[in-house]
Amino acid sequence: MPEPAIVDEITTYPKTGRFLLGRLRHDLSDEEKRILEDSIDEVEVVTEPRRILERGATCGHSTMLIDGFILRTLDGPEQRYGVSFHVPGDFVDLHCFALKRLDHNIDTVGEVRLGYVPHTRLIEIMEEQPHLARVFWFATLLDAAMHREWVMKLEQLTTARRLAHIFAEIWTRLQMVGLGDAQGFDTPLTQGHLAEMSGATAIHVNRAIRALREQGIVDVQRGRINIADKSELEKFGRFTPDYLYGEGELSLREGFY
């Protein structure tokens, strides 16, 4: 079970209570949290895998991921490539607001619940709530910091280590927003998705997963990741959570904003 403080936050703000939880949320006032919660004018449940935004699209709203998993993807000549993933509480396409035309796709994985914020509403917030506006900026830069970490890991690690890093990052991010559990987490990600995210074939991902299992690091099953040895997982995947801007070297808890 997550901490009582987190349960309380989700109860008070059921649609946006996980936004920046464990990061900069402590810096938002109750009024700001309420403004954000009320900015969502529509909630939708998507059960089938769906591309909710496509490269080149303009959009009139931005999307809060309330529940489920989302992949940010780019299409290659024959294949889709995952460039990042999202967990509940992520404002997945603030980019679309500031860039207008999106450079990538937003694809759901498994069942998700989405909240939509009209851009007319966002524009008002930008004008009337400069502090909240800056927190939005921070949220998009957090994505950029995660992209940079991925770039380095792709340059540095073998497939098995990349997978270890991905599992460690997902688990950490889920726990930041009060999800996952002590042994691991549930996820709709298949080995095919992991292949798209790690730049390997599904076949090789399968072999790498077997190696991870045989080393007693992590056990991957259909719909479920069990972390057998967290310390070894993070060591093997060279994972340090600093770049997520939660606790640690880069933490902002000192109250910068």
Partner DNA sequence: CGCATCCTTGAGGGCCATCAAAATGCGTGG
Partner DNA sequence: CCACGCATTTTGATGGCCCTCAAGGATGCG
Please state whether beta strands 105-118 and 51-53 pair in parallel, antiparallel, or not at all (unpaired): antiparallel
Rounded to 5°, angle at Cα 45 from 222 and 67: 60
Using CB under 7 A, pick the residue from 190, 228, 232, 238 that binds DNA: 190
Give whichever of 18 and 95 is closer to its own copies, judged by the CB atom: 95
**Contact call for residue 250 and its own copies (CB under 8 A):** yes
Using CB under 7 A, pick the residue from 50, 131, 210, 235 that binds DNA: 210
Using CB under 8 A, pick the residue from 46, 211, 228, 252 that binds its own copies: 252
The H-assigned helical ranges of 113-226 are 119-128, 130-156, 159-176, 191-198, 202-214
* Residues β-bridged to residue 160: none
Give whichever of 136 and 167 is closer to its own copies, judged by the CB atom: 136
**From the list DNA, its own copies, none, which binds 81 (C-beta under 5 to 8 Å, kind-based)?**
its own copies
**Contact call for residue 129 and DNA (CB under 7 A):** no
**Contact call for residue 134 and its own copies (CB under 8 A):** yes
- Identity of the residue numbered 223: G
- Cβ 71 vs Cβ 107: under 8 Å: yes
**Contact call for residue 137 and its own copies (CB under 8 A):** yes
**From the list its own copies, DNA, none, which binds 191 (C-beta under 5 to 8 Å, kind-based)?**
DNA
**Contact call for residue 226 and its own copies (CB under 8 A):** no
**From the list its own copies, DNA, none, which binds 210 (C-beta under 5 to 8 Å, kind-based)?**
DNA
The closest alpha carbon to 21, from 116, 88, 108, belongs to 88
Taking CA atoms, 20 is separated from 178, 180, 236, 237, in Å, by 11, 16, 27, 24
In whole angstroms, what is the distance from residue 5 CA to residue 13 CA?
12
**Contact call for residue 165 and its own copies (CB under 8 A):** no
Q: Is 230 left (phi over 0), alpha (psi -120 to 50) or beta?
A: alpha
Sheet containing 218-221: which strands, arranged edge to edge? 184-186, 224-227, 218-221
Using CB under 7 A, pick the residue from 206, 215, 226, 228 that binds DNA: 206
Tokens linked to 115 = 């909240």
Binding residues for its own copies, rule: CB under 8 A, are 55-56, 72, 74, 76-77, 79, 81, 83-84, 95, 98-104, 126-127, 130, 134, 137-138, 140-145, 147-152, 154-156, 196, 198-199, 238, 242-243, 245, 249-252, 256-257
- Binding residues for DNA, rule: CB under 7 A, are 158-160, 190-192, 199-204, 206-210, 220, 222-223
